């Protein structure tokens, strides 16, 4: 009843093509952002900010990046961990070489660097497809991690190969990294950056470039015949996807953990992000957020539940239960809705529009 668009008339092309054409959605997203900006920092404690929201936002960004490539352009990639490592190490080298550079600029430049690497490793996609391309991107994954681990130059000759984010200010006197950084600064910075980048991603997918990606995804020969250049479409998908993933990697190293070694970006990380995209929904920006929430937050929630409801259980029991329930839930959601959580959300919205008189 509440969710009905009767009486909302679209009188211009602009309003017809809005990201959220229905007023209830606009109000909803505005409320969500308001809660995220004002409510969460006020209500959530340090634990929630540092270990729940920060990694969730970082992974959402990585998932958006992979979703652009795999979900929208149909190019299966297993190199996400490697591209995240690129972002992290590029940002580290940049900020240690040019300490006066603003941290946001450093992140964006690290993203640009990762995009260049992504384009390079995307070249095989012009000839090979599907699983074969996945194997080619796997080479990127192993090569990049090996390179950052092998050559000391990347870590400024640290004896252990670990990079550690130097303290950097986001505004004068307000530190984003280092010991003086507060969880609220980290959270708000990430929230702003991820929101802006998500908006960019959403608009890219709605524009000409996104449509050319989707045309390539759906049938590349047909796309070529109607005049889309596969070279341009595929490489731009690799570049933009790696840009997002690179920034996510830099944020992971700088804002979340603070110090990181190349091994943190191993193949597991690539799979983790790929699963987020698959469970969240291929070809959906919202799905990237839902998938990241599912993969990052649910295990932590499951791990906390027994203690929170007062069950006395040994930690290994809790841990085993967490694995079992998490695995079962993945299968459950994939059976109920193979197109991901984003599709479930869409179905829910459609049901809501008809409620309470479904036909």
Partner 1 sequence: MQLRKLAFAAVGALVIGGTAATPPASAAEQFVPLLVYRTGPYAPNGIPLADGFNDFMQLVNERDGGVNGVKLAWEECETQYNNDRGVECYERLKAQGATGSSVVNPYSTGITYALIERATADKVPVLSMGYGRADASDGRVFPYVFTLPITYWAGADVMVQYANEKEGGSLKGKKIALVYHDSAYGKEPIATLERLAEEEGFQFQAFPVAHPGLEQKATWLQIGRQLRPDWVFMWGWGVMNSTAIKEAAAVGYPMDRFVGIWWSGAEADVVPAGDAAKGYKSLNITGVGTNAPIFEDIKKLHADGKGLADPKNIGTVLYNRALVNSFYFTEALRTAQGKFGEKPMSGEQIQWGFENLDITQDKIDSAGMTGLLSPVKLSCADHEGGGSAVVQQWDGAKWAAITDFISPRRAALRPAYEASAAQYAKEKGITPRDCS
* Token reading at 19: 């990201």
Least gap, CB of 189 to partner 1 (angstroms): 17
CB of 161 to partner 1, least distance (A): 5
How far apart, in Å, are the Cα atoms of 297 and each of 52, 62, 264? 7, 15, 19
Q: Which is nearer to partner 1, 232 or 323 (CB)?
A: 323
Instruction: Pick between residue 120 and residue 345 the one whose CB is nearest to partner 1.
Output: 345
Pick the closer one to partner 1 by CB: 69 or 295: 295
Rounded to a whole number of angstroms, the CA Rg of the chain reads: 21
Q: How far apart are CB 285 and partner 1 at their closest, in Å?
A: 24
**Cα of 30 vs its chain's centroid, Å:** 21
Report in angstroms how near the CB of residue 24 gets to partner 1 at its nearest.
Answer: 23
Task: Give the residues lining the site for partner 1 (CB under 8 A).
Answer: 45-47, 50-51, 55, 96, 149, 156, 159-162, 164, 166-167, 178-180, 256-259, 261, 263-264, 266, 300-301, 303-305, 307-310, 314-316, 318-320
- The residue among 48, 14, 8 whose CA lies nearest residue 27 is 8
In the bound state with partner 1, the residue whose beta carbon lies nearer, of 14 and 45, is 45
Closest CB 120 distance from partner 1, rounded Å? 23
Residue spans of alpha helices (H) in the chain: 13-16, 23-34, 40-43, 46-48, 54-66, 80-97, 103-122, 130-150, 183-206, 208-218, 220-225, 230-251, 267-280, 285-292, 298-308, 315-336, 341-354
CA 124 to the chain's CA centroid: 24
Min. distance of Cβ 175 from partner 1 in angstroms?
10
Based on CB atoms, which residue is closest to partner 1, 73 or 264?
Answer: 264
Residue (68 or 250) nearer to partner 1, CB: 250
3-state secondary structure at position 342: helix
188 vs 223 by CB, closer to partner 1? 188
> Rounded CA gap, 199 and 136, in Å?
30
Please report the sign of the dihedral spanned by the C-alpha atoms of residue 130, residue 78, residue 145, residue 82.
positive
Do the Cβ atoms of 248 and 65 come closer than 8 Å? yes
Output the smallest distance, CB 308 to partner 1, in A: 4
């Amino acid at each position: 009843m509440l969710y009905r668009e009767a009486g909302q008339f679209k009188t211009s092309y602009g309003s017809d093509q809005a990201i959220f054409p229905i007023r209830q959605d606009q109000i909803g997203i505005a409320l969500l952002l308001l809660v995220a900006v004002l409510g969460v920092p006020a209500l959530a404690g340090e634990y929630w900010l540092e270990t729940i929201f920060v990694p969730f936002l970082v992974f959402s960004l990585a998932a958006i990046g992979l979703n652009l490539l795999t979900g929208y352009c149909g190019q299966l990639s297993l190199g996400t961990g490697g591209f995240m490592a690129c972002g992290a190490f590029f940002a580290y080298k940049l900020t240690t070489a040019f300490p006066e550079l603003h941290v946001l600029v450093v992140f964006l430049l690290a993203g640009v660097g990762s995009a260049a690497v992504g384009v390079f490793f995307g070249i095989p996609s012009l000839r090979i497809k599907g699983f074969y391309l996945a194997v080619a991107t796997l080479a990127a994954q192993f090569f990049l991690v090996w390179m950052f681990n092998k050559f000391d130059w990347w870590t400024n000759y640290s004896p252990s190969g670990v990079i550690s984010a130097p303290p950097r200010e986001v505004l004068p006197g307000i530190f984003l990294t280092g010991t003086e950084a507060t969880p609220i600064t980290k959270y708000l910075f990430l929230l702003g950056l991820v929101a802006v980048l998500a908006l960019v991603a959403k608009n890219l997918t709605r524009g000409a470039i996104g449509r050319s990606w989707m045309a390539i995804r759906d049938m590349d020969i047909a796309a070529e015949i109607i005049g889309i250049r596969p070279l341009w479409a595929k490489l731009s998908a690799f570049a933009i996807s790696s840009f997002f993933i690179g920034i996510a990697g830099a944020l992971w190293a700088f804002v979340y953990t603070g110090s990181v070694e190349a091994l943190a970006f191993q193949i597991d990380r690539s799979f983790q992000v790929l699963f987020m995209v698959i469970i969240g929904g291929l070809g959906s920006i919202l799905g990237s957020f839902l998938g990241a929430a599912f993969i990052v937050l649910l295990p932590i929630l499951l791990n906390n539940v027994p203690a929170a409801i007062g069950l006395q259980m040994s930690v290994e029991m809790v841990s085993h239960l967490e694995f079992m329930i998490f695995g079962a839930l993945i299968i459950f959601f994939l059976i109920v809705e193979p197109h991901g959580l984003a599709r479930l959300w869409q179905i829910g919205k459609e049901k809501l529009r008809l409620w309470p008189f479904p036909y």
